[in-house]
Amino acid sequence: MASRKGYLVLGIALLISFFVVLVLLFLPIFPDGDNGLNFSDRMFNSISKGSSYVIPKLMDQNEAFRGGMVDTSIEMKTSEDAAVAAQLFTAAGAVAEAQGKELKVSGDLGKMLEAVLNDSDSMFYNEGEKVAGRYGIDAKKVMENWWQALDLMDKKFRNKKMIAQAKFVSEVNKKAVETSYNFYGILPEKVNEKFGIMTGLLVFYILYTMWYGFAIFYIFEGLGFNITMPKKKKEV
């Protein structure tokens, strides 16, 4: 029999209400028919996307590479990838030729990266149709080939001790191509636009975690289980 009935009743009530709220979180009662988990996940993804937008800064930095001619060859994963990449680089004003998996590219690095950044910017704002319209190729396929080609160019430039070019190509790939591709389809939003909701969710998460903790604590307290620290033995 419980030694402290009041604590036991309180603990059980807290635990039951905790699971009631948990069930509600899985019901599609949030905006756009989302459940609580999808709603919060979508919101934090939108804020994360909005805070990762650095393409204009990269475009400014790219001015330093305009007129810088490069001549390199890379080996793509498949001959199809090489052919697609050749089409992309040609549209960017470079001379590109695919022979099997090998792709030879020469031209103005700044102009090539400008094309990459423009495509990335369109994808960032979920305008994949613009990217597809430029090449007649699926937008995601375009970005996948840009990523692969730039990754290989980065390694090639490093081997040639072209450190500045390699570093910037890598930065464009990670901060523009990867970001726009991974967040495609998500609406970008700024923290200050969702500050109230975001704060509310964080506070709820903390309180909800404590809610469960206190429920277990009171149940054990009501059952007569006490947690005490062992007394330190005095040295003689």
Return the pLDDT at 197: 74
Q: How many whole angstroms separate alpha carbon 111 and alpha carbon 63?
A: 9
Q: Per-10-residue mean pLDDT for the chain, 236 residues long?
A: 73 91 85 77 77 93 95 95 96 95 96 97 96 96 97 95 95 96 86 72 88 88 68 55
* Number of C-beta neighbours around residue 222 at 10 A: 19
Residue 231: burial class (beta carbons within 10 Å; 0-12, 13-18, 19+): exposed
Looking at residue 236, its pLDDT comes to 46
The helix (H) or strand (E) run that includes residue 39 is helix 36-51
Within its chain, how far is the Cα of 24 from the centroid? 28
What's the pLDDT at 233?
A: 57
Q: Which two tokens stand for residue 51?
A: 């805070």
Helix axes 109-124, 79-91, angle to 10 degrees: 100
CA distance to 101, 135, 222, per residue, from 46 (Å): 37, 28, 44
- Whether the full predicted model's pTM is greater than 0.75, yes or no, is no
Sign of the four-CA dihedral 81, 83, 85, 88? negative
Contact 189, 50 (CB under 8 A): yes
Q: Write out the two tokens for 81.
A: 């990838």
At position 19, the amino acid (one-letter code) is F
CA distance 72 to 107: 9
Q: pLDDT tens digits, residue range 65-115?
A: 999 999 999 999 999 999 999 999 999 999 999 999 999 999 999 999 999
Indicate the burial class of 206 (C-beta count within 10 angstroms; 0-12, 13-18, 19 or more). exposed
- Alpha-carbon span 19 to 137, nearest angstrom: 49
Q: Residue 179: name the closest of 188, 192, 167 by CA.
A: 188
Helix (H) or strand (E) holding 71, with range, is: strand 69-75
Alpha-carbon distance 44 to 36, whole Å? 12
